[in-house]
Structure 1
Amino acid sequence: MAFLLLVCFSLIISMSSGADNITANQSLSGDQTIISKGEHFELGFFKAGNSSNYYIGLWYKKVSEQTIAWVANRATPVKDRFKSELKIINGNLVLLDESNSSIWSTDVNYTNSNLNSVIAILLEDGNLVLRNGSNSTENIWQSFDFPAHTWLPGGRIAYNNKTGRKQLLTSWKSNEDPAEGLFSLELDPVERQYLIKWNKTTQYWTSGSWDEQNKIFKLVPEMRLNYIYNFSYVTTDNESYFTYSLYNPEIISRFVMDVSGQIKQLSWLDASQQWNLFWSQPRQQCEVYDFCGAFGLCRESTLPFCNCLTGFIPKSQSDWNLNDFSGGCVRKTNLVCGRTSEKFGFLPISSSKPQNFTSIPVGSLAECERSCLNDCSCNAYSYVNNNCSIWNGNLLDLSEDNSNEITVNVKVASRDLPSEKKNKGVIIGAVVGAVVGLVLIMGLVLLLIRRNKRRLVGKTSVEGTLISFVYRDLQAATKNFSDKLGGGGFGSVFKGTLSDSSIVAVKKLESVSQGEKQFRTEVSTIGTIQHVNLVRLRGFCSEGKNKVLVYDYMPNGSLDAHLFSVDKLLDWKTRYQIAVGTARGLVYLHEKCRDCIIHCDIKPENILLDGDLCPKVADFGLAKLIGRDFSRALTTMRGTRGYLAPEWLSGVAITMKADVYSYGMMIFEFISGKRNSEQSQDGKKQFFPMQAANVLLGGDDILSLLDPRLHREATVEEVTKLCKVACWCIQDDEDRRPAMSQVEQILDGVLDVNMPPMPQSLKLFVFSFTHPFFFFSTE
């Protein structure tokens, strides 16, 4: 008896002290766990949030915040982990509950195998496998084939070509029981793309291009981030699958089908002890199908994202308090159909067009409204371009953040609609008070208006946050545009002084063919963009052919005047901070504006410096004002030579990755302190990016690339990091270039960056310096 107790005790000690396997004579119960050899993952019982249920799962051992990566009994929890056990029975890993009933099993059908030698091993990559003995390397079963909500490096998202079986990632809210979630990710083997589905039926995102009808978007380019992740697609006769790995195995990373309906790539940061979002798709929360539930309206610009329509309340207020909006909203007052149709009214809202509508033939707006009013099952209607659409079911996927908004009229009980009668008394009182007040202060208001007109030269009106200037007053402020600060592909910039003594930069635009209304619309959009690393637009002037923009004045001028000047010298710390600040400005333009803004002309001349040498990107949004033809001007402007991405020359559509390329070319100049194509001291032309790439890839002295005026006063780590980033940014294939948000994270030290490959186009650029007419004019 003592011997048996000793054996049992030794088994318990071995199980809880870091064993990486379960053998046929062992079981796991209570607080016992097994740990992978390198202590990256741990397997055991866990409890989700405040639930009383327990599950068998594995989590990251080296992460302070318990993060579940895989769950076995997702649909069948246990109540008592001490009376439940995980053990090997007949060659299968089986979970027995309190009543000794099997509630989960690996279900392997053996033909020829020694069942007593089967062993369960937790591997370093987070894969729980069954093998025929500890010396075997062949997996009989593996958890990678049955993912939960997390796709680990080395795992697969696969499709069995013979059986049609799919491997799914299914969303799970980590603080609740991991039952089947609303969203899933799977593989489409025909199109070689991912599909994100809602409730596993409605497909709304894929790795193809955006499709408004089916709610789909391409994900594959996001996964070609070969400087950190190596994604690949494999197909055989038996199966097709996507898999990925990390170039740096020390990075703790996970790919998750999140409860938000977005797929997310996250990395663990030891410094901050938290998960950092690397990228996600869809990018915007309101692009997730039915995120706000029935009759919920999504607004990207407000928190929380979801609000119920007027006349509706959350179906479950407690869920909404926890930011779970999936239950949607219900009417405050139920509609009673029949003879009392006068008790119904319609609430007009601006939204993207919900799906699942029915088109009916009517001749007018009134007929369309009447059809819905008289149909007991109709919840809303819209009438656009003489087409009547009605919705008989719940309204899903309502969002204000869409360029294709229409007016949807939602049926609501009259008592819950805004009513003129309800507000009549308040309105009468307000009118009386307003009249009395107006009589008393009208004179004062008029005096103040006249006074302000005298003080503000050219400020004839205010449109939103922008001031509309008069052209002749801007002529006076700039001394007839005589004090020129600089110029570029969009026009010339002049220094001006307004009557309130504030100094401004006045830009006269060239080749603007837009009409008055369209110009004002585009400028108003630019005027709403505010960021510490973007130059603020103060106002504009549009009088006939005279199109002028008025900006804040930057006392330290443009970056080129400091970077390439013999009289001024930027130390390394300042250069690095300018690189970081410029990246942040571009991140805002590319990812955080309502509509992505591609700058199209990133170069030192368009990076301005304020009094503290804080960088501010200038001329953003002007590409849309000028139009696609402005590229002809860019290729002949001095200072732009060498910054344009190869796709400009091929005539294909320009994306934000063109800005990434230009940023990379500019970063090389931050390091060298001279133009990329500047002549060396012996009078020979050399191409610095090629030189930098050779030194970087050859492992040579990286500080030899540094501006000689800095006398090697820079850190090897930062110079190496900038060189790597620059080489990744100028890759020939734009899909291999990082997004600016990833560049920002790398420069901030949040992400590591791998050694880049040699961009093949560098050889072509070397050729262009001996044949300058080949690519660009040398004007």
Structure 2
Amino acid sequence: MASIPVLPLLLVFLLPVHANAQRKQSNSNIILLGSSLSPNTNRTSWLSPSGLFAFGFYPQDEWFAIGIWLVNQTEKTITWTANRDDPPVSSNATMDLTIDGKLLLRTGKGSEKSVANVSDPATSAAMLDSGNFVLYGKHSHVIWDSFDVPTDTILGGQSLSNGNNLVSSVSISDHSSGNYTLNMQTGGNLVAYPVHNTNGAIDSYWSTATFGKGADVQLNLTRLGHLFLYGIELGVHNLTNSSYPEKNGTTIHRATLDADGIFRLYLHHFKSDNTSSMLVEWSALQNLCEVNGFCGLNSYCSVIGRKADCYCYPGFDFINTSNKFLGCYQNFSEEDCGRSSDTVVQYNVTSLQNMRWRDSPYSVFTMKEEDCIKSCLEDCYCGAVLYMGEDCSKYKIPLRYGRNDSAKSNTAFFKGNRSTQVRGVSIGSKRSLISIVSISLGSVSCLCIVLATSSFLVYRYKLDGYRKLSENLNLELAEEFTLRLFSYNELESATDGFKEELGRGSFGAIYKGTISKGGKTIAVKRLEKAVEEGEREFRAEITAIARTHHKNLVQVLGFCIEGSRKLLVYEYMNNGSLADLIFKAERRPIWKERIRIALDVARGLLYIHEESEIRIIHCNIKPQNILMDDNWTAKISDFGFAKLLIPNQSRATMGAEGTSAYLAPEWENDSLIISLKADIYSFGVVLLEIVCCRKSIEVNVSTADEIILSNWAYNCFAVGELEKLVEDENVDFQQLERTVKVGLWCVQEDPALRPSMKNVILMLEGTVDIPVPPSPVLAVS
């Protein structure tokens, strides 16, 4: 019964605006068919009767966009934008209310696009004093209005219905879709999320806590500044009510999801002396650090005074120091984790106080602080732990929604490379630190004695080893190896006379074998090229291999050189190749597994391109050269015969051994340099194959457009039909679009347009935005 008196009050506030939207205004404000606007003419906008609102072209940098704004402001306050994610237009553009009743934007290049999608032709239009732009049809009925398709703002008299949302702008000057969304959910709850993460309570950072209170709930803003939710079951749920005392002049209220992610109610006061002012009457949040996504992945938000800023965690660096909101990347590699016998020695730990994350930990145990830290060091999945009381919560990388909160008494510990110097407190409490220092100092004298003795013994041991190795290989080459030297007889015996062939890679066949000691299964590559070429290439290969080690590269265990007989020994991959998995398997991997595999391959390529001692061009990236281990981790093989990217070397000296479908166009043009971008092209082809689980060139398809996968993928992307690429699959379509866009950028014919492998990984992970890719095939002039 308490909610009954409220309903007449709502009608008083809401009905006059609705009625006003249904009738035409004075003849002087009617926009007739055939009317036109252009930045190049005297008429660039249509005004409301009061002159407080305008609809038309407004400047955006050196270009123009179409929208609605408040007039008489120092800076235009944009309240609505048409086709907000389209590129701005030039001064030659026009907007026409055509004779046949359409509202069209015509660019200077001759194309046209609808500003208002209507099924019936309009007979006239009007810019109303409420800030609503309307199109009228027959009998003066409204057939379209801007209030029904809000962008980031609602005005007095406007509502946000179930299933609708506001999306923030990128900035005050750029009104394309930004990073945050405010959703009016069907359960009656108004919730704010980062725009790409609307998966549940963890991602939301503000809500009205009215979930389940009714299916027909609306967010309403009256012309007097009353902001509230209303539904039959919910009744009235007040958010705020304007209490502005000034009665002189005109007041206009707007509720905007701002570019920083905070929902605010503004009041604009227009005085009779033609001056105006603006103030914030209400804000959903006071602290910017409460906004999820204000800082990017692997960074945290901290407030100093009234200013919020983003900082990287220890062991991380900003992706772009001029744009901290892109987040941070790990500045060390964990490729040896799981292989080292003592990961506690391999890593160090630094700490930050008063940290919190919104993501849930993957493991929580009750233990002492020192045990908590040790548990993370021994766990390859652990990137950081949060310790509070006696609870040890372990988190994987990347870390989301980090915040420094003085109200929290917990401590975060971050795993880092022992050689990486980062700010922070070393592991353990002060008491344990003192103990460690004391023990270390006490051990110095013993250590000196041990070092002196062990150095002599190691010297004698290595000297004997070098003497034995020099019998098969010259000393200069031997110094570069840490691999095991096999005899030809050993490998012939291990493979049972090279009996079981696993396949053929660059330069020769690969055979399955078993080492007699320990029964370890191996793969042996036997070179079959000419001696003069094989010797040179083999030396280059094993030199590079001795310096590469990564969890996404097939590990090389040893080698054999006996005259013209040259062999390599690899770890054996039980689960075959990626080609078997996506082209031949009865049940192809699910979507999430395929994305994980794609990232595995990308990280392996990043290592050989940028992180290994010697940068390497693989030159033969294809599914057959990507193998799957026991844990279905993807590992790149056959990289040993790739060319080393030696400074001042313009082109690889060896001919391409790859498959034509995966080779970059520059392989066919002797005037073009073969660079790391050749591998990017091949990866792009493989990435699209992983997405679609089909080969890049397929003849048995329903239409000719589908024969070449990259062209078909671009066509599907251009017309918004990406679901054709993954029919009958349960996929994340935002992730699908992101992955296809990355693949299309990678297969651009112009090498300069292809991204680096580091940027490929950042785009696949969703850390950075991806521009719309052009067609992968260069236009013929």
TM over 0.5: no
TM category, shorter = 0.3 to 0.5
Q: TM-score, normalised on structure 2?
A: 0.43
Q: TM-score, normalised on structure 1?
A: 0.43
